[in-house]
Structure formats: C-alpha cells, structure tokens
Structure 1
C-alpha cells in the first residue's frame, strides 16, 4: 500500500517517527513535503487529499498540533474520510466501519509510542464488507453528492 504523510509546522517531530513506522510496516511511504512543513494545515490536507483522490496513494496520515484542523480541512474533499484518532479502537473502527482513508493525529496531544500504534492499526485494518457498513458508506456518498456545488 502507498501511504502519504503530510503535516504542518506543529507536526514536524512526529512526522519523522511515523514515516519510519509506515516503512517498517512494509508499506511505501510517499512523503509529500520532506524538506519543510507546511505553514498552514489546510495546505497539508489539500496536498494529501489530492494524492489519494488522484490515485497516487491509497491512504494518508495528516499531522498538526491537535489533529482537528487537518481533519476538518481534509473532509472538505469528496471521497475523503479523515478522522482524528487518539485511541486504538477509533483507528481500527474508522477503517473497518467507516472506510476512513486518512488518519489524523495531533502531535501536541499524543506521544510517539501511541502514534506508532495508531499507524500500525490504521494500516492493518481493512474496510468491512458487511451490508450495514456498505449501506452507511453509500449514504455518506449520497450526502456528499447532494451538497456538492
């Protein structure tokens, strides 16, 4: 799986840790801005969301101070399902039940070891094929289409 990573100025430290974790998990890392962090989290979210929507990467990891800003910005793109996950259950359930394709974390909220665990869980999880989860995904897609202008 190809996994992109992007971050703003408040996510620089943990980005390096997570880049290494993705590679150790056997996935290809697509580091979207390896030399400098984005000044503004919406820019990081846009670049990463587009990498998924254009088929360049399969999933992504976004990092800012809280995780909230990158999540809000990424979810503005139809087809993107980003969530802030600061616990293991949400990182797994978000993929399995909600078809989450971007993991958002806050460097100022969680430590490195939890961040590593979240990435491992996020990358191992697969979307459920259960009818109830597929039905809910279709409803989300319908909402996106209805309000897309």
Structure 2
C-alpha cells in the first residue's frame, strides 16, 4: 500500500496521482487534505511517515506547493528517507542508492504527466543492496 498526502498546494496533483494508482490497481491510503482550503503540510508529512514507519504502508508520496517544506518535514522523522524528485533519473537513483521510502513533489512545480512517470519509476525501482549504499544509509540513520 502507498500512503499519500498533500497540503492545499499539492491537492490537484495528488488527485492525478490517486487516479493513476487506481488505474494501475495499486492500493493506497489518502491521508488528506481533501480540498484546496489552506492547510499545514507538516500534518500530512507526519501522517504519511507514521504509516511508512509502522509498515502499514510500503512507501509514501507527499505533495505541497514546492515539495520543499513537506520533504524537509518528513526527513525530520527518524527512519524516513524522503526524496524530492522532479525528474525520472532522480527517482530511480534515490531508490537504488538511498532506499528512499517517501517520494515528494511540488504540485506547483511539476506537471501531472511527468509526475506520474516519476511515481512509476520510484515504485518499480528496487534498492540495489550495494554494500556502499548500505553503509551510507547506515550513516544517515545513525
């Protein structure tokens, strides 16, 4: 299952991603927000992070206006490795090298077509299990 959340700035892109997940038959949990009324991105970063850390969700997707605030917030939570990606290469590399467990976007930065391709790449790319990357992730976690 994928946990997905956004603030008002990411709401429209979140709706596009949810439709894409449904189309692909991927289970997801939408933790909010549920409209474009002003709201606070840290609330949704925490909800998604909690689901990932509890293993209720395999991974998470977060969206705010730029993706910056929501990714910073998620990365403050121990055990979360959130990657802000606006290109396919970064999505692939962060899964292979960083074993990122949350993907972030800026809803006012990226269009839905590219965002959906990035989601697919992120979800379909496994961690490499390369000892170099394992060592580096361990340093991040410590």
> TM class, shorter-chain normalised?
over 0.9
Task: Measure how far apart 1:34 and its partner are.
Answer: 6.3
Q: Which runs of 4+ in 1 moved over 3 A?
A: 34-38
Structure 2 unaligned spans of 5+:
none
2:113 pairs with 1:113: yes
Task: Measure how far apart 1:64 and its partner are.
Answer: 0.3
Task: Measure how far apart 1:90 and its partner are.
Answer: 0.5
Structure 1 unaligned spans of 5+:
143-149
**When the two structures are superposed, what TM-score results if normalisation uses the length of structure 2?**
0.94
Asked if 1 retains the 8 angstrom alpha-carbon contact of 2:8 and 2:39, the reply is yes
1:41-84, Cα deviation, whole Å (9 max, x unpaired): 11110111011111110101000000000000000111000011
Distance 1:40 1:34, change over 3 A: closer
Task: Measure how far apart 1:23 and its partner are.
Answer: 2.8
Asked if 1 retains the 8 angstrom alpha-carbon contact of 2:52 and 2:58, the reply is yes
**When the two structures are superposed, what TM-score results if normalisation uses the length of structure 1?**
0.89
Number of matched residues? 141
How do 1:1-149 residues align onto structure 2 when only pairs under 5 Å count?
2-33=1-32, 35-36=34-35, 39-142=39-142
